[in-house]
Amino acid sequence: MKIINVAGARPNFMKIAPLMEAYKAYPSITPMLVHTGQHYDERMSDLFFRQLGIPEPDMNLGIGSGSHAVQTAGIMTAFEPVCLEYRPDAVLVVGDVNSTIACGLVAVKLGIKLVHVEAGLRSGDRTMPEEINRVLTDSISDMLFCTEPSGVENLKNEGVPAEKVFLVGNVMIDTLLKNKTKADESTILDDLGIRPGGYAAMTMHRPSNVDDPIVFARLLDAIEEIQKDLPIIFPIHPRTRNSIARMGFQDRVDAMSGLRLIEPAGYLDFLKLTSNAKLVLTDSGGIQEETTILKVPCITMRENTERPVTVDVGSNQIVGTDPAKILQAYRNVTDGRWRTPQVPELWDGRAAERIVEILAKRL
Ligand code: UD1
């Protein structure tokens, strides 16, 4: 049985890694790995492959950046001949990036079964490109693997037959648990001259935050206050760096002595940074999940989340982009007012094993 696995952008790599490992227990499955090239910088891609021991992709489509239509269409055009030549029994896609929907569409139109890992998540916000990718990918998938009960519920409400849906846990957490000890050896804290609990770690790259100068300026208002009190380490995404330059925020950012911009961090360094942070400020999806397992308070600078379990039982607070609310959440954490999180159901490091076992039986 041949399965093409697709990875394209940074958050896909930690999800694909444990799956590639889990296939090894099933000689009847021949997995192939296709990198779309959506992300291509060393620090956004290759570094993750090396650190996570992901096999060299069988193919890199080399698509790169572009508008949504250009990127999505480019991936589709390049992926179709791969499917025609290789004739897989299934295509497996993860997450919610443009590579996910592009390859999913190609597969189903060729009559190839589509498997979606991290299915059913919904923010309810259709202005997010990822939400469109999620809804569309789920609507054409044959097997849908969910990380949390809300995913199962959302799919049920959208009319997806129950026999296609499996609650299996979280492959991103498989990777976190596997690499935690290795990450502890990272020297990033010493390299930056910071100590455990003595800083906040921040990530920010959502288009709704960094492509809108009014929203971005509001976030900078909050960051300006926080960095006076606690140093902020900010591994900066290329999209955000571009926005700062384009919107004329460079001087404002440079003037904040407690805000330290660093290059995008590799997986192990970033895990060390988040594990030891006093708190995490983010607009990422995956980091809301990782901080829940790491038991580090997470302040999410978005109006919604597609990962409600991180709020219900985890360490996550959704605070939006109003500086007053961000600062209030910050003070709650520094004053010790936050709840110790629980581990969500099945986030035990074995999600990929469950997925591959089901694929081996059902495909
Ligand atoms: C994509 C995903 C988003 C995910 C994020 C993680 C979609 C719609 N969005 O957003 O869900 O959270 O990846 O990073 O798929 N760039 C580089 N080097 C790279 C990659 C990108 O410089 O290796 C720059 C380019 O200027 C590019 C911009 O970043 O135009 C945005 O990249 P793109 O892949 O379009 O979207 P992300 O913002 O990374």
How many Å apart are CA 323 and CA 321, to the nearest integer?
6
| Number of C-beta neighbours around residue 40 at 10 A | 17
Look over the chain and give the mean of its residue pLDDT values, rounded to a whole number.
98
pLDDT tens, position by position, 290-318: 999 999 999 999 999 999 999 999 999 99
Task: List residues with catalytic annotation.
Answer: 205
C-beta 317 within 6 A of ligand 1: no
Mutating to test ligand 1, I would choose from 6, 15, 97 the residue with most ligand atoms within 8 A of its C-beta, which is 97
Residue of 90, 94, 110, 84 lying closest to 35 (CA atoms): 94
Å from CA of 102 to ligand 1 middle = 15
Ligand 1, atom 20: closest residue by C-alpha: 39
Q: Let me know the angle formed at the C-alpha of 307 by 272 and 51, rounded to the nearest 5 degrees.
A: 30
Ligand 1, atom 33: closest residue by C-alpha: 65
Å from CA of 169 to ligand 1 middle = 26
User: Could you tell me how many helices (H) and strands (E) the chain has, helices first?
Assistant: 17, 13
Ligand 1, atom 19: closest residue by C-alpha: 39
| pTM for the model | 0.98
Q: In angstroms, how far is CA 134 from the centroid of its own chain? A: 13
CB 175, CB 193: distance < 8 Å: no
Ligand 1, atom 30: closest residue by C-alpha: 65
pLDDT tens, position by position, 58-70: 999 999 999 999 9
Q: Please, what are the averages of pLDDT over each run of 10 residues along the chain (363 residues)?
A: 98 98 98 98 98 98 98 98 98 98 98 99 97 98 98 98 98 98 98 98 98 98 98 98 98 98 98 98 98 98 98 97 98 94 97 98 95
pLDDT tens, position by position, 161-179: 999 999 999 999 999 999 9
Å from CA of 156 to ligand 1 middle = 31
Phi and psi torsions of 57, nearest 5°? -60, 145
pLDDT of residue 220: 98
pLDDT tens, position by position, 235-272: 999 999 999 999 999 999 999 999 999 999 999 999 99
C-beta 11 within 6 A of ligand 1: yes
